[in-house]
Amino acid sequence: MLALIPVLCIDISEHLLAWNKDVREEMINVVQNVYDLSREQKAHILDSILERNYLLNMLIYFKGFLAVALLVGGIWLLVKYKRVTGKIAKPLAFTIVLMVLFIGAKYVWALTLSPQNKNIKFVEVDNAEVDLNKIVTDNFKGKVVYVDFWGTTCGPCLAEFRDFTKPLKNRYRQSGKIGYLYISQGNKYLWRKQVDKYDVEGMHVFVSSEQYAKLFKDAVHDNSRRILMPTYVIVNAAGKIVETDAKRPSDNKALFAQLDKYAR
């Protein structure tokens, strides 16, 4: 019972992080009119925020209650065991071993979990030889590629995934002329969790911070440019970078005009 508590605490911390990103920050963005949205778009986003707020709060309260119940029950059993046997070291050691195993299993499961959506592709690259041109030519031959540089805890990056990425994909789904490459750094555990959570279709690459900086500066053709997240780049069907500061998915019409220019 006690061994399950750290796993529940990890889940609760993830839910709290999600609440801060998906509810609090997004509500601030809508109120401050960060995005140029119509009244209908704002209403849709607010409805989604309220749904996420309800779900996340329910998960936090339920898992919090369960953790407390397991803590009380586990302590009661340990005390009872000690009264009967006069010893407590063995069950405590066993509990600690189980804690380590459960936490390890949770991380291994998250890092090896295959996405449910077949259009999500996780790709491992050799950090010593990673090259943007090679990634594009090896995986997107003949396609215009929309490249997204993002981070696993970047609020604006996740907001784009949450509210604006699906409309972009739906617009070009039938033509099949656009490919999507997502390059990320940060926490590898969170990387897979975020991609799966927001159902971000496309090819996903996770790299070290050093390789991220190299790919970013190669993409924008400027070694002195400050690394900002998110940043978007467009590569034409010939494999040439043609937009080093492409529009965000939330800039829908402006982005569509850019993509349409190269995906005729």
User: Would you state the pLDDT for residue 153?
Assistant: 84
Which of 231, 223, 181, 230 is CA-nearest to residue 206? 181
Q: What is the mean pLDDT of the chain?
A: 88
| Gap between the Cα atoms of 242 and 147, Å rounded | 11
User: Would you state the pLDDT for residue 9?
Assistant: 92
| Gap between the Cα atoms of 189 and 136, Å rounded | 25
Q: What is the pLDDT of residues 18-56, one digit of tens each?
A: 888 888 888 887 777 766 677 777 787 888 889 889 999
User: Would you state the pLDDT for residue 120?
Assistant: 92
What does the pLDDT average to over 135-140? Answer: 89
User: Would you state the pLDDT for residue 163?
Assistant: 84
What does the pLDDT average to over 149-169? Answer: 89
Non-local (6+) Cβ contacts of 197 within 8 A are: 18
User: Would you state the pLDDT for residue 229?
Assistant: 92
User: Would you state the pLDDT for residue 109?
Assistant: 76
What DSSP line would sit under 7-43, residue for residue? HHHHHHHHHHHHHIIIIIHHHHHHHTT-S---HHHHH
Q: Is the pLDDT of residue 251 over 80?
A: yes
| Gap between the Cα atoms of 115 and 183, Å rounded | 17
User: Would you state the pLDDT for residue 240?
Assistant: 93
Q: What is the pLDDT of residues 160-208, one digit of tens each?
A: 998 889 989 999 988 889 999 999 999 888 898 889 889 999 999 999 9
- Local confidence band at 127 (pLDDT 50, 70, 90 cut-offs): low
Q: Which long-range contacts (CB under 8 A, 24 or more apart) does 107-116 make?
A: 107/189, 110/189, 110/192, 110/193, 111/188, 111/189, 111/192, 113/192, 113/196, 115/195, 115/196, 116/196
Beta strands in 90-225 (DSSP E): 120-123, 144-151, 178-185, 202-206
CATH architecture of 120-262: 3-Layer(aba) Sandwich (3.40)
What does the pLDDT average to over 127-156? Answer: 87
User: Would you state the pLDDT for residue 129?
Assistant: 65
User: Which sequence spans correspond to the domains of the chain?
Assistant: 2-111, 120-262
